[in-house]
Amino acid sequence: MPEASLSHVSQTLHAPYVALGDSLTQGMQSAGVAWLSQRASYPQQIADFLGIAPFRQPILKGGQPLAALTATNSHAGAPSQSDDAWLGNPPNIELLLRRAERLYSANTGKPGAPPPGAWCEFVNELETIKNVLCEAVGDYVRAVEDADPQALLVYPEPATGLYQNLGVWGFNTLDVSTKNYAMLQGALKLSGGKRLARLGRKAIEGVGDLLGRLRAHPSLLESLSLSLLSLAEHDFGQRIAAEKIGYVLGRGSLTALEAARVQQPRLVTLWIGSNDALETTFTDRLWQDGNPLYTDPAVFAEQIAHLVESILAFDSQPSVFIATLPSPTAAPNLARSRVGHWKSILPTAAYLLDGEILKLEQVIGQYNQAIRELAARCSGRVWVVDIHALQERLLRGSREDAQLVQRVTQHAVRAGHLTPAAARAAERAARAGHLPTIEHARSIEQRLINRSLTAVESLPPEESGATLAHPDLTALPDAPNLDAFTVTLASGATYRLTGEFLAAEDDVISQGGAVGLDAVHLTNTAYGFVAREFIKVIYAANKESHGAVMRGVTAKRPSLDAFDQRLLQVAREDTLLNAPPRLIPAALDAQGALADLLGEYHYTDPLLTR
């Protein structure tokens, strides 16, 4: 958007609500930005519930059914034809796996990839699965390689060039007020070497097309060559770093803070700061060359204060709702044992030492304390939304509940007080959100803990898990309970979201549901819980301010119970909860192999590798 038009826009466009943040605000899921999850970003859910208009976000193609587009988003313009090679940018892992499943069916004549529980068939098909995964990646690269960036958008840019969801993945606190597209656009120019790489890529693609009639899949060498030439041609990392900003802020020198100011909102949500600490989990260390890889808490306090004060200085005098930050150590990738078999898309994260994890917890605590103190200083204009507490319960607490029931049932089976079938029934009840089962298991574990550490005798049956076979403790709940993170799936079954890594038995979710396939970003349903927390605080603040918070934002005042019904609908439509991709085990095995390599590379101690 041209700089000269900013003053004109400020007079013609007043967006009631603007959201600032990073990938969690943008709606990233399973490492990708695509329609599949962006449609359920927490700002979009807030805006839809409150009837706020305009509210637009740059939605990238990937996973959208053509008939559903108009009903779920109010953008102007007809949607483009869906193509399953478009997987978002960066690509969504779920969509990549589903694309590979379709290729598997097309090339084998079988109706779908083997279900995760059919291990014999699954292992026998590993070579085919590897080929279709490579082909799916190649299809994606070809789809986006030479495409106009605008072709990735489901809807054309609004006439003003401005969006109301200004979340950009990878942004830290400072980036919101400093980073723009113009700073990175130089990386998109093709040098002589890059032009040579393009010619090489085109040549390989041409040969591949000629040979395509003779074989079902591109060879592994061909796929790797194309990928490496693509990286050399475009400096792919820099290209994505620039384009991710261009999609949201336009291809000029506009920052996210300036884009928000121009729109003069009355309501601003701000959830930023996770990336100030998250880099440490990608680099498996907190310090490098004596310098911290996280933002110093004192510096963070200054940056967040400057950002909020800048927002409060808008002429529209907005109310600001700022969220506390979740701890990276609550994510399932950091909960895995480095001694045992673990799987994660961020393999090096599990090699943080215990002392470093404790330090990271302290840093996040200091960040959140700075947020709370800032809100207290700006009382009446700034309200805190405690997402940290929500995610501690949603990710860590729910995971610990599930593992607690497993420990107790396993002990009871070992002691001969419970049959495996009865133990599975109790675990299924807990997975379905039957709280009495979890509470009973907690009381049993406490008795186990109270034994002498050197005792070998078992507790009496009634005190060591035999009672878990009682019908009241194996019954499945017949109603959801959002306060306990229990929802109803499309099948009608109840299911309790947990912070474990996503897994399925055959085609039914068996654990997880709070985070996507990257173990960091949330599922659509979990984003709904974040939106629910924001809306609770917005309503309380509106009451406290005698209606001033919502004045000029929307005339709609639906009850909070009405949002709960919306959240349950999101859960019924959540593809990760209702139909987990069958190729998840294959993808996780590949990540596990990478994890082993990285662990052995960084550490020679055999205790830190399996």
pLDDT tens readout for residues 567-597:
999 999 999 999 998 888 766 665 555 444 4
Three-class DSSP labels, 469-514: HCHHHHCCCCCCEHHHCEEECCCCCEEECECCCCEEECCEEEECEC
Q: Is 316 exposed, middle or buried (0-12, 13-18, 19+ CB in 10 A)?
A: buried
Q: Do the beta carbons of residue 85 and residue 142 sit within 8 Å?
A: yes
Please state the length of the chain.
610
pTM of the model: 0.85
8 A C-beta contact, residue 431 and residue 377: no
Whether 464 is in a domain gets the answer yes
**Lookup result for tokens 């007079």:** 11
Q: Is there a domain that residue 417 lies in?
A: yes
CA distances from 189 to 69, 105, 226 (A): 34, 40, 20
Q: What is the pLDDT of residue 103?
A: 81
Domain that holds residue 412: 401-431+435-475
Query: Which tokens in the block code for residue 212?
Result: 């395509």
d(CA 204, CA 531): 47
DSSP letter string, 317-373:
--EEEEEPPPPGGGSHHHHS-SSS----SSGGGGGS-HHHHHHHHHHHHHHHHHHHH
pLDDT, position 2: 43
Using 50 as the pLDDT threshold, list the residues of the chain that sit under it.
1-5, 7-8, 10-11, 66-82, 187, 190-192, 204, 207, 209-217, 219-222, 224-226, 228-229, 231-234, 335-349, 594-610
d(CA 261, CA 257): 6
In a domain, 412, yes or no: yes
Helix axes 524-544, 560-573, angle to 10 degrees: 170
Confidence at residue 328, expressed as pLDDT on a 0 to 100 scale: 83
- Whether residue 461 is contained in a domain is answered as yes
Structure tokens at 232: 């050399």
Mention every residue, 6+ apart, whose C-beta is less than 8 A from residue 6.
254, 258, 262
Structural domain includes residue 568: no
Query: What is the pLDDT at residue 75?
Result: 36
Domains contained in the chain, number: 1
Q: Which two tokens stand for residue 355?
A: 């002392």
Residue 409: inside a domain: yes
Question: What's the pLDDT at 145?
Answer: 65
SS3 label, residue 385: strand
